[in-house]
Amino acid sequence: MATKTSKKKQQKQTKWLLPLILLSVAVIIGVVLSIAKEGHAAKGLPSTISVTEAAQRITEGAFLLDVRTAEEWNQAHVSGAVRIPLDELKSRLAEVPVDQDVLIICRSGNRSGQARDLLRAAGLKRTTSISGGINAWMAKGLPVVSGP
C-alpha cells in the first residue's frame, strides 16, 4: 500500500513537471529575444553605409537627412529628404526623429560624418553617414530631383 501511495504522489508531481519546464523555457526565450532586440537598438547603425543600402533603407522608412547648403540642395537632392544644414544641426536637433533610423547625406560624405558624430553625441544612436554622399548616389544612377 505504501508503494501505491508514493507512486500516485510521484505521478502528481511529474504531471506538473512538463508544463513547468515548458513555461520556463518560454520565459527564457522571451528574455533572450528581448535582450537581443535591445542590444541591437542600442548599438545603432554602422558608421557608414553604401548608397545602395541607403536607398533600400529609405524605401523601408528610414529618415533621410541632407546636411548640405541650399545651393547644393537646389542642384540635386533625394526626394523625401529633409534638409538641415550642418551648421544649423545643433540648434535644430528636435527636428531629427529619435524613433527612426537616420541616414545622413552630404556632397561626398565628410559633412554627413560630422553630422552623424554630432547626433550620436546628442544620444541619437540610430544614425549613419551615406558613403560618398550625393555624388556616389548620382554615380549609381539613383533618382534625384532639383529645385527647392
Kindly state the average pLDDT of the residues 7-22.
67
Q: Is the pTM of this model over 0.85?
A: no
- pLDDT band (50, 70, 90) for residue 120: very high
Question: 45-139: CATH homologous superfamily?
Answer: Rhodanese-like domain (3.40.250.10)
Give residue 31's pLDDT. 60
Spans of all domains in the chain: 1-43, 45-139
20 alpha carbon, distance to own chain's centre: 37
Q: Is the pLDDT of residue 39 over 90?
A: no
Give me the numbers of helices (H) and strands (E) for the chain, helices first please.
Answer: 6, 5
Q: Quick: pLDDT tens for 82-108.
A: 999 999 999 999 999 999 999 999 999
Catalytic residue among 78, 105, 106, 115: 106
Q: Is the pLDDT of residue 20 over 70?
A: no
CA distance 54 to 38: 23
106 is an active site residue: yes
- pLDDT band (50, 70, 90) for residue 112: very high
CA distance 35 to 6: 43
Q: Is the pLDDT of residue 125 over 90?
A: yes
For the chain, what percentages of helix, strand and coil (3-state, to nearest 5) are there?
60, 10, 30
Per DSSP, the three-state class of 96 is: coil
Q: Calculate the average pLDDT of the chain.
A: 86
